[in-house]
Chain A
Amino acid sequence: MVESKLLVKGTPPAPLDRELTVVGKPLNRRDAAEKVTGQAKYSGDIKLPNMLYGKILHCPYPRARILKIDASKAEALPGVKAVLTKENTKGWRTSWYKIPEIAFPEVFTHEGGEVAVVAAEDRSIAQKALELVDVEYEVLTPMMDAEETLKAPPPPLIGDEEYPGREIFDRKPFVIKRGDVEKGFKEADVIVEETYTTQVSHHGSIQTRACVASWDGENLTVWDAIQGVWYSKLALADSLGLDPNNVRVIVKYLGGGFGSKAWSHRTTFYAAKLSMLTGRPVNMERTRGEEFVNHSRRWDCNIEIKMGAKKDGTLTAIYQKAVANMGAAATGENYYCMQIIWHTANLHACPNVYLEQIGVYTNRQITGPTRSPLNMPAIFALESHMDRMAVELGIDPFELRMKNYTTYQTVGTDESEDPAASGKSYDTKIPYSSKILDQCMKLATDGIGWEKRKILKHSNQGAVKRGIGMASYIVLQGVGLHPYVAEAKVAIHHDGTINLFVGVVDIGGGQQTILTMIAAEELGAGVDDITVIYGDTKDTPYAPSCHASRLTPEMGPAVVQAAAEARQRLFGLATSLLGVGLDEIRSKNGEIYARSDPVHSIPLKTVCNRITPGLPILGQGSRAPNPKEPMMATFGAQAVELEVDTETGKVNILKVAAAQDFGRAINPKLCTSQVYGGIEFGVGYALTEEGLYDPQTGKLLTKSLDQYRMPTSVDFPSVDVYLTEVEDPYFAYSAKGAGENTNAPTPAAIRNAIYHAIGIWFNDLPITPDKIIKAVQERKKKGEIRAL
């Protein structure tokens, strides 16, 4: 029997020594029927008797100070029940990723900061009341561009001006080094140096942030739009001075998160406060414009890379300097201080690296988790540069990656988020718990028809040119340390009912389906025999927020442990029925049987009848932290075939072949959907999506879905998904986690394919038609472009 290394506290349960009957099946998601019939109630659909409607007044300037604020006219408007401003909320703090922030400040550090909130009998009264709040601002000069901001010392803080997290990250370099980078460049036959720039990008969840808060004088109940109910519960209790036991947060359905809803937003803090003040439930729902202007976003980055290699392709040195625009606040415990350089340190083998990342605080919108947060700029730059190097060396890009393939990692997952680890030399080689990126690269390139690359080069005669490119990626997987500790409970009742208690939100990845499948497999029960209690802090144990592909790798082992513990107790009631010892008993598909005699099985429900009514059998599971060794990560590769119209600048993606090493897919149907989601983000980031600012005022210009252009049904390419399987004993049935990261390689694969099509490198995202036309025209002038 294989020794179990499952990441749980205490002794891990022995692996099931039978074929799997649930895991790996393409089952339909459990909440699909509610969603296709319109019966699913999202937070903004909740309507309570006597409910008030809240609205927020936003500061229209990136940096400004309130000179005078008068809400008396708003307060006097009939139908207005409460108005909050800095005048009546002194000392109150909300939080952004555990870093406290002044609930209503005097000085605003980004456009869209909250000036006042109103609760009224209906939305139009609330809106009218906002217009009656008199505010006089002193408009201050904002810091916008990171490079420009770095040229001068930070301006002195004014009034109560604060930038959460600034003392840790602002202008401070975080460094990963290994070997001797100078020596490495001396050994190189070819050195390639480039600068890559990436844009501000947004989540674009179709459900805007919405909540309903209801205070009954003792207990606060919130129907929230957040990726983690437990995060919301604890943050609300902390900010409002309540006992967490008196706060309940419910999220049964979430209309897209992608990181935007990973942490509590002010919307919820305000709704709760207004409900406590008025004694009535309060609905607070944001408009699409508010969603853009007053929400976290992805960091815009500037990344210099210098890479050296020998003639045979062996990498000898990488130097990288990355500058990230942090905006006016960055995340607290999960601050990604090394996340633009971590991938460069680990994706390809290279003995000598010096990698530096600097964060710059500005007056742009705050930054936070955004589907593959800094992986996107990091992988775009690194994998673009690998292709550049391949061309300089005259080596096939796939072969170059294989030449520098590595089976070990050097910088740990916890270290990548620990400022104290900066500057340390990482020379140890730690193996991975599992890695088959080589297979993924082979599958993706075979899937796209990589051999066609040579033919295409000679057949691109018209204005429309065809090209093929690839990219690979690595993402760290799981943590298990606070706040990502994960707990699960299973209860089996006398009547055969089985409950799985998990304090998680199903954000659309199918989390409740996946965890139920894991429990069903481990119990040997049918999936439909299990009722899962989720998306509610009432009755569920603590669970992490559902972000960073976290739920399956963090929660999976805890669910296995809880189900195995309950199952063994149930088996204890079956020994006399089957006439064999505990170790000989097995279960599957709702039947319990002796290992030696599977034909004579007893229905699981029959054994349940032996459970004392009212005293269910319980099982509990807790995730243990990731060990120092081995390293845990997921991998993947994508290859893209596309056409570039050299006259219109339009890029038409014909096909994406996406191959993933997720360990094993618990549910391949849901996993495939996750890959599509990644491609949606990747294509948009590569070609169309960009948050643009007015250089004069520093205001965000792209505040609507027609200006911020996300891929639609006609832009979405044909995608072939390849899910590989590899044993990884640390996770539940080898499932390492899948959801978030499949967008990471897409932009570089697209960019590399564009080069293959027209022979021009684009280093600045997004690669819009105007940039392509301009570059083509410049080449034509110089007579450099082939066959135009």
Chain B
Amino acid sequence: MKNEAEIRKNITLTVNGKKVERHIAGRMTLAELLREELDLTGTKVGCNRGECGSCTVILDGDPVLSCTVLAVEASGRAVLTIEGLASQGKLHPIQEAFVEHDALQCGYCTPGMIMSIKALLDRNPNPTDEDVRRSIDGNLCRCGSYPNIIKAAIDASKKMTQR
């Protein structure tokens, strides 16, 4: 029997709007693909078992924990990471609001936190404080920036709906 590590697969997916093709180990997670194959290290891995939320990315519109998704499962689908949010050097309104409201300290949970909020605002453009709290209840921030994260999300939602 072949070792699991030796099973390799061809995958094709879209990452931040760009087509990506790779021949990868079947056991590789989406987080590993992003970080190690594509050098998109903005996606952080804090636990590698779906407990901390720092690896959150958006897969076909839904927030997922990329450490618990196999790269092969993402084949044929579209992935959005933190690196895909700013366009032409201009910060996304959520990123701008995070800067302005100091919604980060050490910054390690920040990419996952922002992706969870992006997914929330995509499906609910006018969330309440409680909606924001619920949307990030799987994203741990040990620096305790939660009050500012909630303020930033609400502020960003207002600015985005005004446009």
Contacts and interface: CB of A to CB of B under 8 A. Distances in A.
Interface string B81-97: 11101100001000100
A507 B43 CA distance: 19
B147 A670 contact: no
Interface in A661-698: 669-670, 672-674, 676-681
B99 A32 contact: yes
Interface string A367-392: 00000000000000000000000000
B5 interface: yes
Contacts of A710: 140, 142
A45 B47 contact: no
Contact of B106 (A39, A255, A714): A255
A47 B39 CA distance: 9
Interface residues of B, number: 55
B109 interface: yes
A669 B137 CA distance: 24
B137 A38 contact: no
Contacts of B85: 37
Q: Taking chain A's interface residues, is the majority helix, strand, or loop, or is none over half, making it mixed?
A: loop
Given A38-B40, A42-B108, A206-B108, A713 B133 contact: yes
Nearest to B105: A508
B48 to A, nearest CB: 7
With most chain B CB atoms within 10 A of its CB, the pick from A41, A253, A712 is A712
Contacts of A676: 143-148
Nearest to A739: B105
B41 A256 contact: no
A69 to B, nearest CB: 26
B82 A714 contact: no
B54 interface: yes
Nearest to A675: B144
B108 A37 contact: no
Contacts of A704: 47, 49, 51
A129 to B, nearest CB: 13
Interface in A1-42: 28-29, 31-42
B109 A38 contact: no
B146 to A, nearest CB: 4
**Residue picked from B41, B91, B102, most chain A C-beta under 10 Å:** B102
A287 B99 CA distance: 30
B46 A673 contact: no
Interface string B43-80: 11011110110100000000000000000000000000
B133 A36 contact: no
Contacts of A705: 46-47, 51-52, 140
B13 interface: no
B114 interface: yes
B6 to A, nearest CB: 10
Contacts of B49: 288, 704
Counting chain A CB atoms within 10 Å of each CB, the highest count among B5, B106, B111, B114 belongs to B106
A672 B148 CA distance: 10
Contacts of B110: 35-36
Contacts of B145: 673, 676-677
Contacts of B143: 256, 508, 673, 676-677, 680
A258 B47 CA distance: 18
Nearest to B106: A508
B31 interface: no
A609 interface: no
Tell me which of A38, A47, A124, A718 has the highest count of chain B C-beta atoms within 10 A of its own C-beta.
Answer: A38
Nearest to B107: A35
A509 B105 contact: yes
B139 interface: yes
Contact of B144 (A34, A507, A716): A716
A205 B98 contact: no
A247 to B, nearest CB: 25
Nearest to A676: B144
Contacts of A257: 106
Contacts of A208: 46
Contacts of A669: 102
A254 interface: yes
Contacts of B43: 38
A397 B137 CA distance: 35
A255 B44 contact: yes
B50 to A, nearest CB: 9
B51 A288 contact: yes
A205 B46 CA distance: 9
15 contacts: A32-B104, A36-B95, A38-B43, A42-B108, A47-B39, A47-B41, A207-B108, A255-B44, A255-B106, A256-B108, A288-B52, A508-B143, A704-B51, A705-B52, A706-B51
Interface of B: 5, 27, 35-36, 39-44, 46-49, 51-52, 54, 81-83, 85-86, 91, 95, 98-100, 102, 104-111, 114, 132-134, 136-150
Given A42-B41, A124-B5, 14 more contacts: A31-B107, A32-B102, A36-B98, A124-B27, A204-B140, A205-B108, A206-B140, A207-B106, A208-B46, A253-B106, A287-B48, A672-B102, A712-B140, A713-B132
Interface of A: 28-29, 31-42, 45, 47, 124, 203-208, 253-258, 287-288, 507-510, 669-670, 672-674, 676-681, 704-706, 710-714, 716, 718-719
Closest 9 A/B residue pairs (Cβ): A38-B42, A680-B144, A255-B108, A508-B106, A35-B107, A38-B82, A45-B41, A508-B105, A705-B51
